[in-house]
Amino acid sequence: MLKASMAGLAGLSLPGLLRDRARADGPRSSNKAVILLWMAGGPSHIDTWDPKPGRSTQNRGPFDVIPTKLPGVFFCEHLPKQAAMLDKFTIIRSVDARFSNHEPNRVFQTANREAEPRLSPSGDMYPAIGSIVAKHHGANRAAIPPYVAFQTSRSHIAHGGYLGTRFDPFIANRAAKLPIYTDVGVDTGRTTEADFFRLPGELSQSRLLDRRALLTDLDGLRRRIGRSESIEALDRYGHEAVELLIGRRAQEAFNLSSEPQATRDRYGKHLWCQQALLARRLVEAGVAFVTIDLSYHSASGTWDTHGDNIPPYGGISKGLKPLLPLFDHLITTLVADLDQRGRLDDVLVIAMGEFGRTPMMGTQGSSDGRDHWPVVMSMSLAGGGLRHGQVIGATDADGGHIKDRPVTPGDLAATIYRHMGVPLETTYLDTTGRPRWIIEDGSPIAELS
């Protein structure tokens, strides 16, 4: 009876996961968190945060520029809200994206240049930054997953790798009711089922609680016979597993209908905007790391703007242009909301993709697209209690190469780990038992301190 009762609860697959996470070393239970807005496909740096006015049209692209809140700093004309809030942001224009690729997108999400499965047999095994945070920081509250992702494609999101599947992200697509879009960004009018918290078949909440009560009684009997760490652990983590499935905290975090209508209206009805609102709710509920896969389709990513002759990506005018006002609204609404709620110093918001785009338009037989350009890219950061209102680094005249202050994937990861209280000298073991550093080439970005 004892074995059957334990197996019934262990069948949830959650008690062991929660127990393994709790065994990890390192600081825990702070309010620190990260929201990663993953621009899958690689946004053009020249047509967003690092414009080149005065250059030829083939180089500068079709967009005009606008001034920002920082004197002498200009953005693409389609990012007016972020330009007006640049005192809340840092733009890094000199990010070294060498070896980064997509499908899968691993280098920047793991901070390891060898995490490129197309070139390295072990490229898929390097753990995500979010997985490292899940192990060595954990969730900020019990019965909440530490690492959550809204995923369009598994190839867009890094996972636990060498750490094991227990540190994979909790894929949140089925946990909330969200609009369903086609792979070219058309709202179908349908929504997801949000059935993750729906217990299967005849297993009702009351029946699950009855099982829990039976297990508790049997555990009490077992403890009277002889104490066992495994039984005591099952009692604690089994309880957390039940709480995750039927407890109010996790379900409430994913329930957008409980958000004030004014806030929901401010974010808007678009899928990505609703996911951003959910990300804010999740970090308030105790999630430590949230990744939003900003892509409609599951191939290389919506931001992969090779040209209008290469659907469904589009080029700069028809592919990138519709994305920018949406992204501008999303990121500024999220940052302003966190600020108004007093959470911006705790939550680090990062927006980036895999690499930049070629300085010259007209790639792959198109006249309006840009190809992959891992030589340099830009990224945007806000919050996290860091020093913002600045631009770090620069590219040369045509935006093709780093001119000043290269920033590596390891530098970004080290900045995240310092924010989350994960020691930079932390290691993990690969499948051969060899220890590997979580940071192999990088240090926290000094200008943000």
Q: What is the pLDDT of residues 119-175, one digit of tens each?
A: 888 889 999 999 999 999 999 998 899 999 999 999 999 999 999 999 999 999 989
Tell me the pLDDT of the chain averaged across its residues.
88
Encoded tokens for 303: 């931001």
Quick check: 413 and 111 in contact, CB under 8 A? yes
Of the candidates 441, 443, 445, 446, which has an alpha carbon nearest to the alpha carbon of residue 114? 441
Predicted confidence at residue 313, as pLDDT, reads 87
Burial 238-263 (b: 16+ CB within 10 A, else e): bbbbbbbbbbeebbebbbbeeeeeeb
Encoded tokens for 53: 């006015």
Q: State the pLDDT confidence band at 105, using cuts at 50, 70 and 90.
A: confident
Same domain? 123 vs 105: yes
Which residue is listed with tokens 């996961």?
17
Of the candidates 106, 157, 108, which has an alpha carbon nearest to the alpha carbon of residue 148? 157
Q: Report yes or no on 319 lying in a domain.
A: no
Contacts of 21 by beta carbon, 8 Å cutoff, 6+ apart: 134, 135, 138, 139, 146, 166, 167
Q: State the pLDDT confidence band at 25, using cuts at 50, 70 and 90.
A: very low
The two beta strands, 356-357 and 179-181, are unpaired
Q: What is the pLDDT of residues 38-90, one digit of tens each?
A: 999 999 999 999 999 999 999 999 999 999 999 999 999 999 999 999 999 99
Task: For residue 380, report the phi and psi dihedrals to the nearest 5 degrees.
Answer: -125, 140
Quick check: 116 and 364 in contact, CB under 8 A? no
36 vs 148: CA distance, rounded Å = 10
User: Whole-model pTM above 0.95?
Assistant: no
Same domain? 112 vs 237: no
User: How many C-alpha atoms does 248 have within 13 Å on its Cβ side?
Assistant: 1
Q: Report yes or no on 317 lying in a domain.
A: no
Same domain? 121 vs 158: yes
Q: Report yes or no on 175 lying in a domain.
A: yes
Same domain? 73 vs 191: yes
Domain final position from 189, 211, 246: 246
Same domain? 144 vs 239: no
Same domain? 116 vs 163: yes
Same domain? 328 vs 237: no
Same domain? 186 vs 210: no
Predicted confidence at residue 24, as pLDDT, reads 46
Segment 397-404 mean pLDDT: 98
Q: Which of 4-8, 292-296, 297-301 has the lowest mean pLDDT?
A: 4-8
Quick check: 49 and 93 in contact, CB under 8 A? yes
170 vs 144: CA distance, rounded Å = 10
Q: Report yes or no on 349 lying in a domain.
A: yes
Q: Report yes or no on 221 lying in a domain.
A: yes
Predicted confidence at residue 2, as pLDDT, reads 42
Segment 363-367 mean pLDDT: 91
Predicted confidence at residue 249, as pLDDT, reads 83
304 vs 302: CA distance, rounded Å = 5
Predicted confidence at residue 312, as pLDDT, reads 85
Q: Report yes or no on 261 lying in a domain.
A: yes
Segment 432-448 mean pLDDT: 96
Predicted confidence at residue 257, as pLDDT, reads 93
Return the higher-pLDDT residue of 292 and 20.
292
3-state secondary structure of 173: helix
The domain spanning residue 185 has which CATH number?
3.40.720
Quick check: 366 and 115 in contact, CB under 8 A? no
Quick check: 246 and 37 in contact, CB under 8 A? no
Encoded tokens for 292: 């939003």
The fraction of the chain above a pLDDT of 70, given in percent, is 83
Same domain? 35 vs 24: no
Same domain? 268 vs 330: yes
Same domain? 135 vs 213: no
Look at the chain and report how many structural domains it folds into.
2
Quick check: 74 and 67 in contact, CB under 8 A? yes
Q: Report yes or no on 173 lying in a domain.
A: yes
Of the candidates 326, 382, 316, 375, which has an alpha carbon nearest to the alpha carbon of residue 351? 382
Quick check: 263 and 284 in contact, CB under 8 A? no
Q: Which residues pair with 428 in a beta bridge?
A: 436
1 vs 132: CA distance, rounded Å = 38
Q: Report yes or no on 279 lying in a domain.
A: yes
353 vs 138: CA distance, rounded Å = 25
Predicted confidence at residue 231, as pLDDT, reads 46
Predicted confidence at residue 212, as pLDDT, reads 55
Q: What is the pLDDT of residues 211-268, one digit of tens each?
A: 555 555 555 545 555 544 444 444 544 555 555 555 578 889 999 999 999 999 999 9
Q: In Å, how far are 128, 139, 144, 273, 407 from 281, measured between CA atoms?
A: 22, 14, 12, 13, 31
Contacts of 195 by beta carbon, 8 Å cutoff, 6+ apart: 174
Q: What is the domain extent for residue 272?
A: 31-197+254-312+324-448
Encoded tokens for 163: 């750490």
Same domain? 393 vs 421: yes
Burial class (CB in 10 A: 0-12, 13-18, 19+), 189: exposed
pLDDT at 327 over 70: yes
Q: What is the largest CA-CA distance in the chain?
A: 82
